[in-house]
Amino acid sequence: MDDQLIFQQLKLNRSRTLEAAASVTEEEADRIPNGFNNNIRWQLGHILTTQERMAFRFIGEPLGLPEELTGLFVNGTKPADWTSAPPDLATLRRLLEEQPERIRERLQGRLQTPLTLPFKDFTALEEALVFSIGHEAMHAGFLKALHRITAAAQ
């Protein structure tokens, strides 16, 4: 698979996520509508931390994000269980904006690297990154739905 294509898709997908979150307010980011476990802030943090783990953890590389973010946003977490304050939207947006280029800089020419930790039936980093593109798109869809619901509730 072409490395540049994967990096371009990561960047394109991220630009769409950021566009969907551009008009979200701090208040909207923290609302959890009935029937949901998470909010927009969690969706953004989950996208960020999952992408980071897909890019680096499975090949034994250090993450480039503060460790406390992972504890807030990994699978199975929810805002109701948070014991520390999550980052504000400006911080999340900045980290999300910077991440695709940082991933490209660190991993250019290395996408064939074998995974050192098992994940699904993937064998190489490029497979994990392609999976993460779809994962981000799915959560960006949740983010858009949550924004429609929270904006309508005002």
Q: What is the pLDDT of residue 26?
A: 96
Backbone angles phi, psi at 130, to 5 degrees: -65, -40
Tokens linked to 138: 């799915």
Residue pLDDT, tens place only, 7-31:
999 999 999 999 999 999 999 999 9
Residue pLDDT, tens place only, 72-99:
999 999 999 999 999 999 999 999 999 9
Q: What is the pLDDT of residue 82?
A: 96
Q: What is the pLDDT of residue 1?
A: 66
